[in-house]
Amino acid sequence: MKKIVAIGVVVVLSGAAIWRFTSGQGEPTTSYRFVTMERGDLEAVVTSTGNLDAVTTVQVGTQVSGRIDRLFVDFNDTVRRGQLMALIDTTLLVSAVQDARATLRRNTAQRNFAATELARIQRLADQQFATEVELNQAKYDLELAEANLESAEIAQERAERNLGYSRIYAPMSGVVIERSVEQGQTVAASMSTPQLFLLANDLSELEILASVDESDIGQIQEGQQVRFTVQAYDDETFEGRVRQVRLQSATQDNVVTYTAVVDVDNTDGRLLPGMTATVEFLVETVSDVYKVPNAALRFRPTEEMMTEFRERMMAAREAQGAPSDSTRRGGAAGQGGGQAAGAAARGGFGGGGFGAANRGMLWYLDEQGQLSAAFVRTGLSDGTMTEVQGRNIEAGMEIIAGVTITEGGSTANPFQQNNQSGGRFRGGGF
């Protein structure tokens, strides 16, 4: 029994040693992820959101309390300036006018009587039959009667005006976008003016109130072109222009934003007030330029790849003057290769970029499948693609954006099921 166990242990150890030896014989394999250089237009934009609204809206209310007797307009109705929109019950208002008129007549009679009495007392005083006190009293009674008459006239005018307020007219031509009352409803105007309707002057022109972050507001200017989309028409883009950048800021959750007002043409009437708009402010546009995904500019080769690249570049520099085997796309001994060799020898670049912020380096494989680099000057970026300028670059060029190195051989561990060879990825990301 002991011999069997010992033999088993020897077999296991031998198998492990064989697996370890064979697994170490495989060479690491390198696989690249490529992106394609394109040629076309590029735009830098500032993205924001906002809501569509009518340029001018007016709340139509009532200055008198009462029951809504009649409604003459409804949602979406088009009205003209001065058109009758609603009528408030006039029963109490007519009674108030009648009472004011009766009070006016009474005060008129009192004033006439006081004037006649003053004239009589004045004649008696002239004949020394009335005292000065009686004369002064008569004058006071006349002044009081005249004041009461004036107050009665004002009260009658107010009552008649309130009666006129029972008829609600459109203050401007436009469209009824909201009706807040029903026929028969009682409205009270004692403290504030209740809203009956919301009137928009013209829905053929709308505006967007877009909230722009303080870090981007400096790029927004009056007259700037704007594109936007709404959820109702996902596959369509609409246009507008910035009319105003408001100075008043708003702060929410420690984020400061400013409001940009965008004018929108809505002649076809498809856009509606209240729609949410995703807005793009066009900051800058370039046409017919080379552009690459940002991941290509962020790519950094591994140290092993850089070591091999530097050695090859140094050898190319030493052999300068001899015919180059690789001239495509600025290969190892080409124009781009010579510059890259010098930079590599000096350690002047570290993967994705070098020197100034508007410079970068693109990595690719030359015709021999060897790692090569091209210096470029970067320009406009839309956050995904970046404009590049440089020698030996062309549309369709395959640029390295990532690399995966698989280590170890293809022999699987006999003591582990479903084993996959390990690897590591290195790239520019997205």
Domain residue ranges of the chain, discontinuous segments joined by +: 29-40+290-406, 46-55+200-287, 62-88+166-197, 90-165
Element (H, E) at 162: helix 132-165
Tell me the helix, strand and coil percentages in the chain, rounded to 5: 30, 40, 30
How far from 394 is each of 38, 279, 329, 420, CA to CA, in Å?
8, 33, 8, 39
* Share of residues in the chain with pLDDT > 90 (%): 64
Distance, in Å, from the CA atom of 112 to the CA atom of 102, rounded to the nearest integer, reads 16
Closest of 277, 289, 287, 286 to residue 226, by C-alpha: 277
Helix (H, G, I), strand (E, B) or coil at 315: helix
Whether the predicted pLDDT of 18 surpasses 80: no
Q: Where in 294-355 does DSSP place strands (E)? A: none
How far from 338 is each of 110, 308, 355, CA to CA, in Å?
115, 15, 17
Separation of CA 155 from chain center: 54
Q: Give mean pLDDT, residues 108-123.
A: 95
Q: Give mean pLDDT, residues 254-258.
A: 95
Highest mean pLDDT among 183-187, 307-311, 323-327: 183-187
Q: Which DSSP symbol is given to 191?
A: S
What's the pLDDT at 348?
Answer: 40
CATH number of 62-88+166-197: 2.40.50.100
Q: What number of other Cβ atoms are within 10 A of residue 138's Cβ?
A: 22
Q: Residue 309: which residues within 8 A CB-CB, separation 6 or more?
A: 301, 340, 344, 371, 373
8 Å CB contact between 181 and 68: yes
What's the pLDDT at 71?
Answer: 97
Kindly state the tokens that stand for 422. 């390990």
What's the pLDDT at 220?
Answer: 96
Whether the predicted pLDDT of 421 surpasses 90: no
Confidence at 54, pLDDT banded by 50, 70, 90? very high
392 Rama sector, left if φ>0, alpha if ψ -120 to 50, beta otherwise = left
What's the pLDDT at 408?
Answer: 56
Confidence at 403, pLDDT banded by 50, 70, 90? confident
What's the pLDDT at 392?
Answer: 83
What residues pair up with 385 in beta bridges, in sequence order?
Answer: 293
Helix (H, G, I), strand (E, B) or coil at 339: helix
Element (H, E) at 101: helix 91-126
What's the pLDDT at 347?
Answer: 39
Distance, in Å, from the CA atom of 28 to the CA atom of 35, rounded to the nearest integer, reads 23
Whether the predicted pLDDT of 422 surpasses 60: no
Q: Which residue has the higher pLDDT, 317 or 144?
A: 144
Whether the predicted pLDDT of 183 surpasses 90: yes
8 Å CB contact between 211 and 250: yes
What's the pLDDT at 267?
Answer: 94
Highest CATH level, class, for 46-55+200-287: mainly beta
